[in-house]
Amino acid sequence: MASLMEDFMNILEEENKGYQRLTELSHEKRQIIIDGDIPALEAITDREQEITSRLKNLENKRSEVVNDMSIVLSKQPEELTVTNMIAFLNKQPQEQSKLIDLRDRLKETLRGMAEINAQNDTLLKHAMEMAEFDLTLFRSMRQAPTTANYDNRANNTGDLLGSGGFDAKQ
- What's the pLDDT tens digit per position in 62-120? 999 999 998 888 888 888 888 888 888 888 889 899 999 999 999 999 999 999 999 99
Count Cβ neighbours within 10 Å for each residue of 35-56 and write b for 16 or more, e otherwise.
Answer: eeeeeebeebeeeeeebeeebe
- For domain 2-142, say whether CATH 1.20.58.300 is its number: yes
pLDDT band at 164 (very low <50, low <70, confident <90, very high): low
pLDDT the model gives residue 116: 93
Q: In 92-102, which positions are buried (b, 16+ CB within 10 angstroms) versus exposed (e)? A: eeebbebbeeb
Q: How far apart are CA 38 and CA 143, in angstroms?
A: 29
Give me the pLDDT at residue 147, please: 60
pLDDT score at 153: 74
Q: What average pLDDT does the chain have?
A: 85
The CA–CA distances, whole Å, from 93 to 38, 56, 66, 107, 112 equal: 50, 30, 20, 21, 28
pLDDT at 145 over 60: no
Whole-structure pTM value: 0.73
Residue 133 pLDDT greater than 90, yes or no: no
Residue pair 55/109 in contact (Cβ under 8 Å)? The answer is no
pLDDT for the residue 167:
52
Query: Is a pLDDT exceeding 90 seen at residue 160?
Result: no
| Rounded Cα gap, residues 46 and 50, in angstroms | 6
pLDDT of residue 119: 92
pLDDT score recorded for residue 124: 86
Q: Could you report the per-residue pLDDT of 23-65, keeping only the tens digit for each?
A: 999 999 998 888 888 899 899 999 999 999 999 999 999 999 9
